[in-house]
């Protein structure tokens, strides 16, 4: 080999070694940055909980005089902070503004894929829904436009699950106004019971979006599975039940009221939040979940008349839970805002389905099991798991 070729080869090898060294250094630096970032996140979570804990403790020792106060007391004893409650005197609003902002910014909530349904401002691509969305968006107060929209919906041939659910929900809403407009007369609405809202309005919608899934909406006053094992007596209007192996598992809850009132809202929400925490604890205990990367969100619904809140409960850090509202859903009882409200109904219910399906996936990733190293006390934790706190429920009869 000539001297020139040898020199070129040596130079090339040297450059390759430099590149390999640079790549190795970059990996080390990247790992150090990630470790520092994780440490900062952990410090932030600890600080958030420690600063909030004293406030929650102060609430937990006060005797409630109404259902709102009872809600605050119960959640405080369960180390749950409601970051959607911005009413005067709520535990969240008593925190400093900087701490509130810090908690909200680091508590993003569930992330959803783009729904196949349109939005008021962005029409999704695809011929199946494009022309229908135009009809819905232009709907005013005439039955003629509703009939045109209904025919357009019936002509859709695309059969994927989410599109089918979207079309089914929209057809139901349009038919309500075309065929049963009398149901929205004020005098009749005043006479409705909770069951009326379940049977005539919310029940069919929930059933339609879960029709082609493995989740079964279970209506009526039944005790949640997560509560039975704790020896508590608490009944729910709605349980979202999934068949897993040979047993039934709850994946969400709901309460329905005939009209909106502050006392009823906090009374129902108190039950659903505590039941959701119990369900979350059960899932965390039974499954190997990495909380640093994969947060479990338990959904619950609070329906009052024609309005509904879709909310979630999740673990923020060790023993520190967050509940927050994800979306407000309004059943279109008039044609004035029919387009926007119909679209929000579809998107909100599809979000509910997505949360339940995420729980199913998380429950299938691997049960907790005893590993061989635990026999000799040598356990390496590959997954970061947050600690959970005991579920507290005090049945109050004096309110």
Provide the pLDDT confidence category of residue 289 given band limits of 50, 70 and 90: confident
Domain annotation covers residue 330: yes
How many Å separate Cα 299 from the centre of its chain? Answer: 4
Is the model's pLDDT at 369 over the cut of 80? no
Structural domain including 241 reads: 194-365
In whole angstroms, give the CA distance from residue 357 to residue 111.
13
Is the model's pLDDT at 176 over the cut of 80? yes
CB 326 within 8 A of CB 149: no
In whole angstroms, give the CA distance from residue 358 to residue 303.
23
Domain annotation covers residue 247: yes
Domain annotation covers residue 216: yes
Provide the pLDDT confidence category of residue 38 given band limits of 50, 70 and 90: low
Q: Kindly state the tokens that stand for 264.
A: 């009823």
Domain annotation covers residue 391: no
Domain annotation covers residue 299: yes
pLDDT in tens, 109-145: 787 665 544 443 333 334 555 555 565 665 555 778 7
Predicted confidence at residue 171, as pLDDT, reads 92
Residue 90, φ and ψ in degrees, nearest 5: -70, 150
* CATH number of the domain to which 280 belongs: 3.90.1570
In whole angstroms, give the CA distance from residue 13 to residue 235.
73
CB 287 within 8 A of CB 366: yes
Ranges of H-type helices in the chain: 3-60, 67-77, 97-105, 127-137, 143-154, 161-179, 186-190, 194-197, 203-209, 225-228, 262-286, 338-363
Domain count of the fold of the chain: 1
Domain annotation covers residue 8: no
In whole angstroms, give the CA distance from residue 387 to residue 262.
33
The whole-number average pLDDT for the span 93-120 is 75
Domain annotation covers residue 244: yes
Is the model's pLDDT at 329 over the cut of 60? yes
Domain annotation covers residue 211: yes
Count of alpha carbons within 13 angstroms of residue 146, beta-carbon side: 21
Q: What are the DSSP calls for 352-379, one per residue?
A: HHHHHHHHHHHHTS-B----GGGGGT--
Predicted confidence at residue 6, as pLDDT, reads 63
CB 234 within 8 A of CB 223: yes
In whole angstroms, give the CA distance from residue 141 to residue 338.
9
Within 8 A by CB and 6+ apart from 326, the residues are 109, 110, 299, 310, 311, 312, 351
Predicted confidence at residue 373, as pLDDT, reads 57
Axis crossing angle, helix 127-137 with helix 143-154, rounded to the nearest 10: 170
Report the alpha-carbon angle 348-353-358, nearest 5: 125
Q: Kindly state the tokens that stand for 50.
A: 């420690």
Predicted confidence at residue 10, as pLDDT, reads 65
In whole angstroms, give the CA distance from residue 222 to residue 370.
34
């Amino acid at each position: 080999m000539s001297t020139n070729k040898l020199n070129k080869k040596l130079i090339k090898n040297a450059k390759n070694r430099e590149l390999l060294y640079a790549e190795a250094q970059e990996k080390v630096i990247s790992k150090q940055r990630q470790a520092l970032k994780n440490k900062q996140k952990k410090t932030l979570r600890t600080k958030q909980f420690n600063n909030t804990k004293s406030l929650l403790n102060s609430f937990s020792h006060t005797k409630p005089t109404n259902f709102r106060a009872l809600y605050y007391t119960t959640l405080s004893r369960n180390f749950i902070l409601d970051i959607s409650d911005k009413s005067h005197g709520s535990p969240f609003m008593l925190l400093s503004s900087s701490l509130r902002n810090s908690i909200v910014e680091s508590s993003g909530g569930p992330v959803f894929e783009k729904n196949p349904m349109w939005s008021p401002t962005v029409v999704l691509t695809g011929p199946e829904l494009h022309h229908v969305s135009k009809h819905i968006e232009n709907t005013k107060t005439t039955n003629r436009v509703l009939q045109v929209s209904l025919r357009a919906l019936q002509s859709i041939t695309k059969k994927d699950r989410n599109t089918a659910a979207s079309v089914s929900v929209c057809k139901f809403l349009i038919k309500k106004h075309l065929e049963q407009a009398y149901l929205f007369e004020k005098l009749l609405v005043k006479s409705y019971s909770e069951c009326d809202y379940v049977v005539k309005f919310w029940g069919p919608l929930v059933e339609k979006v879960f029709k082609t899934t493995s989740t079964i909406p279970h209506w009526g006053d039944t005790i949640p599975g997560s509560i039975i094992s704790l020896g508590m007596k608490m009944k729910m209007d709605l349980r979202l039940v999934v068949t897993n192996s040979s047993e039934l598992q709850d994946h969400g809850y709901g309460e329905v009221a005939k009209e909106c009132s502050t006392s009823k809202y906090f009374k129902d929400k108190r039950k659903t939040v505590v039941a959701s925490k119990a369900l979350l604890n059960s899932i965390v205990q039974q499954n190997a979940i990495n909380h640093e990367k994969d947060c479990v969100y338990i959904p619950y619904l609070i329906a009052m008349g024609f309005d509904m809140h879709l909310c979630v409960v999740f673990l923020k850090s060790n023993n520190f839970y967050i509940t927050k509202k994800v979306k407000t859903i309004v059943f279109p009882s008039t044609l004035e805002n029919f387009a926007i409200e119909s679209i929000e109904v579809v998107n909100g219910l599809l979000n509910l389905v997505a949360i339940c399906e995420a729980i199913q996936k998380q429950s299938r990733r691997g049960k907790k099991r005893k590993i061989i190293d635990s026999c000799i006390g040598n356990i390496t934790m590959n997954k970061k798991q947050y600690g959970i706190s005991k579920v507290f429920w005090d049945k109050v009869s004096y309110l």
